[in-house]
Amino acid sequence: MPKILNISHLGKTYTNGPKRLTVLDDISFDIETGETFAIVGPSGSGKTTLLGLAAGLDSPDSGTVELCGTDLATLNEDQRAALRNREVGFIFQNFQLLPTLTALENVLVPLELQGAKNANSICMELLDKVGLADRSDHYPSQLSGGEQQRVAMARAFSSTPSILFADEPTGNLDEETGEKVVQLLFELNQDSNTTLVMVTHDLELAQRNQRILRLKGGKMIANESTIRL
């Protein structure tokens, strides 16, 4: 299977005055196309930083990130944005919907950025899939947390991404709503054969992925298949 994400000797350090904080230290792993992959670890272990670097939202201090066959270091910020638009979907803990856009408009944005045709019908279909077709003209502030996350999922899948990054997708939801969202996430992932990279500290949720990467204090302590577990 081809590798969709290849991370090699990745390091990231933040400087705050005289203090230097190493957040990630010599991380290497790769993810195959279509794989579901969880990154777990305690708070402050560097999970979100790793996700940000893998998705090209930030640049590492050392090592390389190869996403969809492209070394991100060779791209400038706008090229990385273009790559994300075509190949990457995102789901965030706090949903990150655009507050001034309706549910449908939020889902439309990635496709509109690509200049896609029939975007409206594709997005309405997606909203229907996540059970929110009748709420398409509602603004985020008029939706519940679970509904907002479902809109975020519809947005993430609207551009049929090759890889989806999810940052604590159930972190802001109650157990029942969270479960529904996770089910939907895996369903959509299976339907579109998208690679899923998920950051979570919910071990139960992590176990539902094919592989788990464990981080502690910025270091990788395990990268194992859940099947063997």
Give the residues lining the site for another protein (CB under 8 A): 2, 4, 33-34, 48-49, 51-52, 55, 57-58, 68-70, 74-75, 77-79, 81-88, 90, 92, 94, 96-102, 105, 109-110, 112-115, 139, 141, 155, 159, 162, 167, 193
Ordered strands of the 219-225 beta sheet: 88-91, 163-167, 195-199, 36-40, 211-216, 219-225
In the complex, the smallest distance separating the C-beta of residue 68 from another protein, rounded to whole angstroms, is 4
Q: 26 vs 105, which CB is nearer to another protein? A: 105
Residues 6+ apart with CB under 8 A from 216: 41, 42, 45
Q: 156 vs 184, which CB is nearer to another protein? A: 156
Q: 124 vs 180, which CB is nearer to another protein? A: 124
In the complex, the smallest distance separating the C-beta of residue 20 from another protein, rounded to whole angstroms, is 16
Separation between Cα atoms, residue 105 and residue 155, nearest integer Å = 9
Q: 49 vs 149, which CB is nearer to another protein? A: 49
In the complex, the smallest distance separating the C-beta of residue 73 from another protein, rounded to whole angstroms, is 10
Q: 107 vs 220, which CB is nearer to another protein? A: 107
In the complex, the smallest distance separating the C-beta of residue 188 from another protein, rounded to whole angstroms, is 15
Q: 104 vs 184, which CB is nearer to another protein? A: 104
In the complex, the smallest distance separating the C-beta of residue 152 from another protein, rounded to whole angstroms, is 10
In the complex, the smallest distance separating the C-beta of residue 151 from another protein, rounded to whole angstroms, is 13
